[in-house]
Amino acid sequence: MRVVVTRSIARPGRTWQPVLLIALTVIGTAAISVWKPTALVYGVQRAGLYAAVAIPMALILGIVHIVNLAHGELMMVAAYLSYFAARLLGLDPFVSLVPVAVVMAIFGLLVYLLTVKHALKAPELNQLILTFGLAIALSQTVNLMFTSQSWKLSLGYVSASATVGDVSFGVFDFVYVAAAIALAAGLQLFLKRTRMGKAALAVGQNPRGAAIVGIDVGKTYAFVFALAVGLVGGVGSLFLAKQAIFPMVGGPYTMKSFCLVAMAGVGNIVGILYCSLALGLAESIIDGIRGYAGWSNMVFFVIIIATILVRSWRERKV
């Protein structure tokens, strides 16, 4: 009997046949560059944003085994903190990134200790609805305090552009790509090389076994939760630099992150990079087809379902 979850976590780096993937990437890139080069650029940038937001959620899902429906809202709160840092203290979002991340980590720890910790023994659905309630409370509190009015910083460098031939495109969004790669690499290092990280991995795979070996499961959960919220807080700061913020801005990103994390396979952080790349490019290409741009919303979900189905076929369930 084979179990889906163990396979993904045991070999986190290996979701695809590498050769096939590289071949597809090369062919795809060449085709897109010739036909519509900007679709490539913007697709990669979009992928970076999706991945950067999704990776912290993978931490919580993979180790604490909770679907955090308040994920996007936590990013939104961080973005608001960063906004106030910019308006009241004059701090650029890149500068306030670390302080905001630290504040969010503490906030995440508080949220964990007050609510999530007490629901750990409950069924997974309870935890899901718990975070759902948290999401409502967070977004509506922000709505109450600051209204649904859209806020945006006006930073000159987000319009930075590069010109190749006669095509100009924005380059700022590569920051998100860099952030996603940094997050993935950093977390891989953390999980594989540090003591805390290895303990976290062990807890994620087998909480009871980890407890037997002497790992403090409760403290690990708290730490991982706080870390994930801190990381998404940092992403929130970057988000503020380019995007408009409003209380409900987090919702769509929660959903997309959840889908990405499930598509990559629970526990597979590097896989999120590949998956978001595929999704970002697919969306960008369809967007560029005049008259059919509306269908790009569907592409995301079709690819996710296809991936999940193909993987399950290989596992041969039922």
- Residue closer to other proteins by CB (options 185, 301) is 301
- How far apart are the C-alpha atoms of 11 and 162, rounded to whole Å? 39
Residue 170 bridge partners (DSSP):
161
The CB-of-213 to other proteins minimum distance in angstroms stands at 26
Among positions 2, 165, 290, 310, the unique one binding other proteins when judged by CB under 8 A: 290
Residue 263 interacting with other proteins (CB under 8 A): yes
* Residue list 266-285, contact with other proteins (CB under 8 A): 266, 284
With a CB cutoff of 8 Å and minimum separation 6, the contacts of 2 are 315
* Residue list 10-49, contact with other proteins (CB under 8 A): 38-39, 42, 45-46, 49
The CB-of-214 to other proteins minimum distance in angstroms stands at 29
Smallest CA-to-CA distance from 177 within 55, 15, 285 is with: 55
The CB-of-168 to other proteins minimum distance in angstroms stands at 4
The contact pattern for other proteins, residues 99-118, with x = CB under 8 A and - = no contact, is: ----------------x--x
Smallest CA-to-CA distance from 71 within 48, 55, 49, 47 is with: 55
With a CB cutoff of 8 Å and minimum separation 6, the contacts of 277 are 43, 44, 47, 51
The CB-of-86 to other proteins minimum distance in angstroms stands at 11
- The alpha helices in the chain, defined as continuous H runs, are 4-10, 18-35, 37-59, 71-89, 93-114, 124-146, 174-193, 195-205, 207-213, 217-242, 251-264, 269-287, 296-315
Among positions 28, 99, 218, 288, the unique one binding other proteins when judged by CB under 8 A: 288
In this structure, are residues 4 and 315 in contact, taking their beta carbons and an 8 Å threshold? yes
The CB-of-194 to other proteins minimum distance in angstroms stands at 27
Residue 205 interacting with other proteins (CB under 8 A): no
- Residue closer to other proteins by CB (options 90, 294) is 294
Burial of residue 264, with CB atoms counted within 10 A of its CB: 0-12 exposed, 13-18 middle, 19 or more buried:
buried
- How far apart are the C-alpha atoms of 220 and 200, rounded to whole Å? 6
The contact pattern for other proteins, residues 47-76, with x = CB under 8 A and - = no contact, is: --x-----------------x---------
Q: What are phi and psi of 280, to 5 degrees?
A: -60, -45
Smallest CA-to-CA distance from 52 within 220, 185, 249 is with: 185
- Residue closer to other proteins by CB (options 47, 184) is 47
- Residue closer to other proteins by CB (options 102, 120) is 120
- Residue closer to other proteins by CB (options 121, 208) is 121
Question: Which range touches other proteins (CB under 8 A), out of 20-28, 94-102, 214-222, 259-267?
Answer: 259-267
Structure tokens at 217: 């499961």
Among positions 76, 130, 226, 240, the unique one binding other proteins when judged by CB under 8 A: 130
* Residue list 297-316, contact with other proteins (CB under 8 A): 297-298, 300-302, 304-305, 308-309, 312
Among positions 88, 163, 195, 310, the unique one binding other proteins when judged by CB under 8 A: 163
